[in-house]
Amino acid sequence: SFQKFPRHLLSIRDLSREEMLKLITRSAEIKHDYKKRFANRENVQLGGLEGQNVAMIFNKRSTRTRVSVETAVNTLGGNCMFLGKDDIQLGVNESFYDTSKVISSMVAGVVARVNKYSDVANFAQHASCPVINGLCDTFHPLQALADLLTIQEAFGTFKNLKLAWIGDANNVLHDLMIACAKAGIDTTIANPKNVEIRSDILNLVRESSKETNAKHIISHDPAAAVRDADIVVTDTWISMGQEAERQARLKQFAGFQVTEKIMQLAKPHCKFMHCMPRHPEEVSDGVFYGPNSLVFQEAENRKWTTVAALEALVVNRGNI
Ligand code: CP
Ligand code: NVA
Identify the structural domains of the chain with CATH numbers, from first to last: 12-139+302-315 (3.40.50.1370), 143-298 (3.40.50.1370)
Protein residue with its CA nearest to atom 2 in ligand 2 = 239
Distance from Cα 213 to the centre of ligand 2, integer Å: 28
pLDDT at 3 over 90: no
pLDDT score recorded for residue 4: 84
Q: Whose CA is nearest to atom 3 of ligand 1?
A: 65
How much distance in Å is there from the Cα of 48 to the middle of ligand 1?
25
Which ligand 1 atom minimizes the distance to the CA of 142?
A: 3
What CA–CA distance (Å, rounded) separates 293 from 297?
9
Q: Whose CA is nearest to atom 6 of ligand 1?
A: 62
d(CA 217, CA 215) in angstroms, rounded, equals 7
Q: What are the φ and ψ backbone dihedral angles of 190, each rounded to 5 degrees?
A: -120, 115
Ligand 1 pocket: which of 176, 276, 297, 301 to mutate (most atoms within 8 A of CB):
276
Give helix 141-155 / helix 171-183 axis angle, nearest 10°.
50
Which is the closest atom of ligand 1 to the Cα of 135?
Answer: 3
Centroid of ligand 2 to alpha carbon of 140 (angstroms): 8
How far, in Å, from the CA of 139 to the mean position of ligand 1? 12
Q: Which atom of ligand 2 is nearest to the CA of 276?
A: 5
Rounded to whole angstroms, the Cα distance separating 54 from 74 reads: 10
pLDDT one-digit tens code per residue, 191-220: 999 999 999 999 999 999 999 999 999 999
Residue nearest to atom 7 of ligand 1 (CA): 63
Q: What is the pLDDT of residue 292?
A: 98
Check residue 2 and give its pLDDT. Answer: 54
Using one digit for the tens of pLDDT, what is the confidence trace for 211-244? 999 999 999 999 999 999 999 999 999 999 999 9
> pLDDT (tens digit, 9 = 90+) per residue, 93-145?
999 999 999 999 999 999 999 999 999 999 999 999 999 999 999 999 999 99
In whole angstroms, give the CA distance from residue 120 to residue 100: 10
What ligand is nearest to the CA atom of residue 239? 2
Which numbered atom of ligand 1 lies nearest the CA of 140?
Answer: 3
Q: List pLDDT tens digits, range 262-306.
A: 999 999 999 999 999 999 999 999 999 999 999 999 999 999 999
Beta bridge partners of 217: 188
Q: What is the dihedral of CA 210, 164, 162, 211, to 10 degrees?
A: 10
CA-CA distance, 56 to 73, in Å (whole number)? 11
Q: How far is the centre of ligand 1, averaged over its atoms, from the C-alpha of 274 (Å)?
A: 10
Q: How would DSSP label each residue in 127-167?
A: -SS-EEES--SS--HHHHHHHHHHHHHHHS-STT-EEEEES
Mean pLDDT confidence for 57-80? 98
Mutate to test the pocket of ligand 2, among 68, 115, 235, 238 (most ligand atoms within 8 A of CB): 235
Q: Tens of pLDDT along 144-157? A: 999 999 999 999 99
Q: Is the ipTM of this complex over 0.95?
A: yes
Q: What is the pTM of this model?
A: 0.98
Looking at the CA of 300, name the nearest ligand.
1
Which residues does a 6 A CB cutoff place in the pocket of ligand 1? Answer: 62-65, 135, 143, 275-277
Active site residue 275: yes
Mean pLDDT for all residues in the chain = 97
Q: What percent of the chain has pLDDT over 90?
A: 99
Q: For residues 210 and 13, give the distance between their C-alpha atoms in angstroms, rounded to a whole number.
A: 13
User: Atom of ligand 2 at shortest distance to CA of 235?
Assistant: 1
